[in-house]
Copies of this chain bind each other. A is one copy, B any other.
Amino acid sequence: MEDSDMTLANQLCFSVYHASRLFTKFYQQALQPFELTYPQYLVLLALWEADRQPLHALGEQLDFGSNTLTPLLKRMENKGWLTRQLGASDHRQLIIQLTEKGRTSKTAIFQAIRLCITQQNIDPERYQSTLKQNKELITALEKLLD
């Protein structure tokens, strides 16, 4: 790649970065009624898929360390989304489990996001294609960072 192509607009890194921040902004708008941040919503997504996980397992799915998750989960516990309990067999583990509120809110939260999204009509095929390319990008980046 030539130096002349190294403009901000031509940088894939900036484009991804920009898109990511717009997603954050969009979701924070949609999630505002629930007093949820975007990363907190990602935690809920992971738990809706598999409840009752130790912290480090959650961190693997989201690629977060304990230094990020610990304060985030404490805030979510305070708001009543989940519980944090020491593992019965292994006291080093902290088992994260959804509360009743955490479980039952799924429908309402999806509904709210759906409402925000469907105001625009987004082409599902375009979505699929972008998702596929991003996954390839992630694979490539992970190789760069091995």
Q: How far is the CB of A123 from chain B (nearest CB, A)?
A: 9
Asked if A34 CB lies within 8 Å of chain B CBs, one says no
Q: Among A25-33, A78-86, A87-95, A96-104, which stretch is in contact with chain B?
A: A25-33
Asked if A49 CB lies within 8 Å of chain B CBs, one says yes
Kindly report how many copies of this chain are found in the complex they form together.
2
Residue among A8, A63, A135 facing the most chain B CB atoms (10 A cut-off): A8
Q: Identify which of B122, B131, B144 contacts A10 (C-beta below 8 A).
A: B131
23 contacts between A and B (CB under 8 A): A1-B117, A1-B124, A6-B45, A8-B46, A8-B124, A8-B127, A9-B113, A10-B131, A13-B27, A14-B45, A15-B131, A15-B135, A16-B16, A17-B20, A17-B23, A19-B137, A20-B20, A22-B138, A23-B141, A120-B143, A120-B144, A122-B140, A130-B133
Residue among A17, A48, A118, A119 facing the most chain B CB atoms (10 A cut-off): A17
Residues of B within 8 A of A1 (CB): 114, 117-118, 124
Interchain CB contact under 8 A, A63 and B21: yes
Residue among A27, A46, A134, A138 facing the most chain B CB atoms (10 A cut-off): A134
B-contacting residues, A49-74, CB 8 Å: 49, 61-63
Asked if A142 CB lies within 8 Å of chain B CBs, one says yes
Give the nearest-CB partner of A111 in chain B. B6
